[in-house]
Structure 1
């Protein structure tokens, strides 16, 4: 059996866990000290505490705090007649949309309904925003509580494929967020290769059983998990947020087309060839005339081949520009703008083939036949680009190979019947793309 990572998972399952509601906290206002309110309520000494409130706070306890009171204390309250503008302001990326329901990614990396903007349990005409930095909030609360305790800031999330809501951790301090069993074996000796338990989320969900949505109990203490409490603040919830490249469901079906963006600056990271091949599979699913398959995708996975092709294309471009009367300084600027292909770690040359096309007696119909195949090739490339975005890859479709097709065929040893239709730069975006200029569909529609 492969030894687990040091400290990767708990040494044993606890035999008893208690979840205790902390009552008597009362209404939280901007500027309140959450840790002081919790201490007073947990010990039964606060002004609003009742006889049942004094559950105490012990070393090894994990305190789960609803994000709403953290947001209120930190002044994350906004005047708003409705949530629409607040949701837009808090949204970094729209993942899916249906009617008035918006699933958004926040700048924290959380994917949740309405970017976490909440109009419940707050004064009419106001909304609550998520804490600016929930991990930092958890660290401050933990420092204020003192002792060896953990703190989780929780919020309510929906879940794909499942009805109902549950609380999860959006901030943590002093709590190990994950239990990683990869590299170990189960009781039958089967190797575990994908088992990673979201401990912080499980604790947040357990705490919600005693907090409730309507009972006015924003805090719970989970007791019996002291082995998950760490001496330092730890990594927070960062390990719980799935990286974009590992997210198989990054985009909602209604918004996946809009995920495709032209990327011209790429990070120095390799591209998974299998991801590109999956994108090709999407490309060849496009419609085409006469049940044909007019697409071919040349994958330039060799750095030497990419350099050889780009050098030959650059020389051909320079010759064309000189022939058009451009000066050397102007030529240098134009060539520099074409470096997006040279900076990309992966290139793809989509090609058009006319196999299966019909031949007619007049040039007009033959020209229309070719146009149909060109349109089909464009549809295939668009499918390809969209799937690259789904795979977490950026791309830029550049027309350059269309201006020197004989050279491209020669360098890549392509059949004469293959027409290169530009070149697609592929890679991981070095920075988020710029916002699109707003476009209104009605501006592009003519109704008869």
Structure 2
């Protein structure tokens, strides 16, 4: 007669809260087909389930029972259909965010343990699936158990696969130890234990990948049963996700998400962040192995106000010489106030040291234009790097129209040419949506 549990438990001490727990694979489950009642199948295979047990149920059998079996000659098309956002791509491998909000390889679409020509999709709502199994076991066996639906994941920076929880019912999925202290009395300020994932991984030790035992039972951790947590609590909030993109995707997004920001909060700008951005700026391409960039950092309010006041006076004088009326002058000056709203200013300058002199206007003009283009590349690097530091920026051309004034106020060498000013600060709000631009409108192929 087949026992309800495998005979060899995995036992692990849990400190002072409980002595040990056991993890056992449930034997005797049949092949699952669409429409099967998983709770009744599990109850038949494990009539000895007790209050406080935790069931670890492999997502594959949940998918099969829920009819998430798809005839798909093209697995890639199935992955496309389940993908919400591509996180990283390398060759045919894709790490994506799927419809369930999980970030995983191939959107969780699996071609193993299913007939040829079909693929398994993850349950539509793994938390709801776990709740249904828990309720069914309560009805069938009269027991109060916790249920985790598990799936196999890879992990950043770590080789190998492990099981994690993707659905939960009646299990506390996170153990928040913040505010407590360790055995030496040190305060715990960042310790939140992913208990559900630890349980899932323990279950994988006894279920195995090829043994045909898709359910494991944990006994001895009743303290974790009764919680109302969904497994979605294990998915990090996007705002706190420091590794939301793959390498190439992050580079592309950094460029396309760099936006002009004209409204800033009062939060101070970290000077070290700006210096890191300058370090990225000076990696831009430049002619003749030169370094044509200089960046003047205006970190004091006095330096910013002194420069902007002098620039405003010079601008007003220019407008008066143009014959502009006072009302028009005031309106134009107001439009230039974006630099005053910023808590930090950078004045990029062009230095043509190392340029070649040919003695004719055409080639000398082209030579200077090469250096101007290199300076623009450096400023673009700066803006993208600032965005990577979560700082907003606006590149304003105004210093180019009064270079002598800028050099005098800031005490710059005469050979430094100010190339605008960059307002830097923490954005006061998200940027407005920007319509996509088709690259084809800007391409000519010969």
Q: Do both proteins adopt the same fold according to a TM-score greater than 0.5, normalized to the shorter chain?
A: yes
Which residue of structure 2 lines up, in the alignment, with residue 29 of structure 1? 34
The 2-side partners of 1:383 and 1:131 are apart by 44
Please, which of 226, 234, 249 is the counterpart of residue 229 of structure 2? 234
Change (3 A) 1:151 1:43: closer
1:149: how far off?
2.6
In the TM superposition, what whole-angstrom CA distance separates every residue of 1:168-196 from its partner, at most 9, and x where no partner exists? 12222332223344455444455555443
Change (3 A) 1:21 1:93: same
The 2-side partners of 1:11 and 1:435 are apart by 58
- Give the TM-score normalised by the residue count of structure 1: 0.71
In the TM superposition, what whole-angstrom CA distance separates every residue of 1:351-385 from its partner, at most 9, and x where no partner exists? 13316343626344443443333333333344344
- SS of the counterpart of 2:365? helix
Which residue of structure 2 lines up, in the alignment, with residue 54 of structure 1? 46
Please, which of 11, 21, 24 is the counterpart of residue 19 of structure 1? 24
Contact between 1:287 and 1:376, CA under 8 Å: does it hold in 2? Answer: yes
Contact between 2:79 and 2:107, CA under 8 Å: does it hold in 1? Answer: yes
Which residue of structure 2 lines up, in the alignment, with residue 130 of structure 1? 122
Please, which of 121, 138, 144 is the counterpart of residue 113 of structure 2? 121
Which residue of structure 1 lines up, in the alignment, with residue 168 of structure 2? 172
- SS of the counterpart of 2:374? helix
The 1-side partners of 2:432 and 2:152 are apart by 28
1:118: how far off?
2.0
Change (3 A) 1:277 1:110: farther
Q: Give the alignment of 1:203-222 within 5 angstroms.
A: 203-222=199-218
The 2-side partners of 1:188 and 1:217 are apart by 42
Contact between 1:290 and 1:357, CA under 8 Å: does it hold in 2? Answer: yes
Work out which of the two has the higher radius of gyration on C-alpha atoms and give 1 or 2. Answer: 2
In the alignment, structure 1 residue 162 sits paired with structure 2 residue 163:
no
The 1-side partners of 2:221 and 2:269 are apart by 40
In the TM superposition, what whole-angstrom CA distance separates every residue of 1:103-124 from its partner, at most 9, and x where no partner exists? 2233544332112222223343
Change (3 A) 1:435 1:367: same
Change (3 A) 1:138 1:313: farther
Which residue of structure 2 lines up, in the alignment, with residue 48 of structure 1? none
Q: Give the alignment of 1:377-396 within 5 angstroms.
A: 377-388=375-386, 390-391=388-389, 393=390
Which residue of structure 2 lines up, in the alignment, with residue 103 of structure 1? 95
Contact between 1:63 and 1:151, CA under 8 Å: does it hold in 2? Answer: yes
In the alignment, structure 1 residue 149 sits paired with structure 2 residue 141:
no
Contact between 1:297 and 1:348, CA under 8 Å: does it hold in 2? Answer: no
The 1-side partners of 2:393 and 2:163 are apart by 40
Unmatched tracts of structure 2, length 5 or more: 1-13
The 2-side partners of 1:188 and 1:121 are apart by 48
The 2-side partners of 1:10 and 1:264 are apart by 54
Change (3 A) 1:250 1:405: farther
- Give the TM-score normalised by the residue count of structure 2: 0.71
Q: Give the alignment of 1:180-199 within 5 angstroms.
A: 180-189=176-185, 192-199=188-195
1:401: how far off?
4.5
In the TM superposition, what whole-angstrom CA distance separates every residue of 1:1-39 from its partner, at most 9, and x where no partner exists? xxxxxxxx9962542332332541532315x5xxx423x
- SS of the counterpart of 1:352? strand
The number of equivalent residue pairs is 418
- SS of the counterpart of 1:24? coil
The 2-side partners of 1:28 and 1:431 are apart by 49
In the TM superposition, what whole-angstrom CA distance separates every residue of 1:81-125 from its partner, at most 9, and x where no partner exists? 212233233333323222111122335443321122222233433
